[in-house]
Amino acid sequence: KLLTYSRFGKTFRVGDRLDYYIPKQAIRDKIAELEKIHEKQAWTQKQGFYYDLATNVEQNLLQGVLDTNSEGDVVYKLTKNKKLPIQITSSMVKTIASLIFYVKYIAKQGETIIIDEPEMNLHPTNQVLFAETIIKFIKAGLRFIISTHSDYIVREINKYIMLNNVMEKNKICPDGFNKELALSINDVDMYYFYPTGKDQKVSVERLKRDSENCYSIASIDETISQQNEELNILFEKLYS
């Protein structure tokens, strides 16, 4: 059974050749989506269940505040007097903006949010911060389905699973770690999607945890390992 999904109003089957000549339209659609939030509810007067947590995340991750002006246009406030239209902000701000707006004003307790490849426009440091953000939302009652190729995000999830293991064993949080982010294995599951056969059908494998209850994704680990080995060979050639 082939996966199907909708993109820009048209349904594609896995394996179809897609044309990616419409990124500008995708950006316009995303901005329009953000601005509809302002139109649908007076969010300046109606704060959502996760408003305070989302505001804290917004300030730490984006180093600014997302707002709308009197015309309903989305703006990014760096300081009280410095505002930028969302259209000219970084890809990271545009990527995270819809999540922040949704969680601040619309999300209800226990909802499931689907995010596709959040690492696309994020520096590795921000990928780590994003993973921590997701953990904070999970601990507050939200649920997420996330597709990712990011080793940074997977490692960060593993780190806080392991922190939980350490705290359960030693009854204390090690120095330098945030105990509020300790993640129970009951709150995480990982699946590996991969093409099989000539028809490129997609198979799904539930990943097994290792002895520390963490996850390893072979296709990512093998690529990193190969890069390290090749760099080590060149390093030895250079300095031998």
Closest CA to 155 of 93, 202, 224: 224
| Predicted model pTM | 0.75
Closest CA to 58 of 83, 76, 84: 76
Give pLDDT, residue 84: 87
Give pLDDT, residue 46: 67
CB-based contacts of 7, cutoff 8 Å, min separation 6: 18
Is the CB of residue 132 less than 8 Å from the CB of residue 101?
no
Give pLDDT, residue 179: 95
Handedness of CA 70, 74, 57, 62 (dihedral sign): negative
Closest CA to 151 of 222, 95, 91: 222
Q: What is the pLDDT along the chain (240 residues), one digit of tens a residue?
A: 233 333 334 444 444 444 433 445 555 665 566 556 555 445 445 678 888 888 888 888 888 888 877 777 788 888 777 888 888 888 788 878 888 888 888 888 889 999 999 898 888 988 998 999 999 999 999 999 999 999 999 999 999 999 999 999 999 999 999 999 999 999 999 999 888 877 778 888 999 999 888 999 888 999 999 999 999 999 999 998
Closest CA to 204 of 195, 193, 218, 215: 193
Please give the single-letter amino acid code of residue 47: Q
The whole-angstrom separation of Cα 20 and Cα 125 is: 28
The whole-angstrom separation of Cα 69 and Cα 71 is: 5
The whole-angstrom separation of Cα 108 and Cα 105 is: 9
Give pLDDT, residue 28: 60
The whole-angstrom separation of Cα 101 and Cα 96 is: 9
The whole-angstrom separation of Cα 209 and Cα 212 is: 7
Closest CA to 35 of 85, 72, 89, 8: 72
Cβ-count burial 153-184 (b if 16+ within 10 Å, e if not): bbebbbbbbbbbbeeeeeeebeeeeeeebbbe
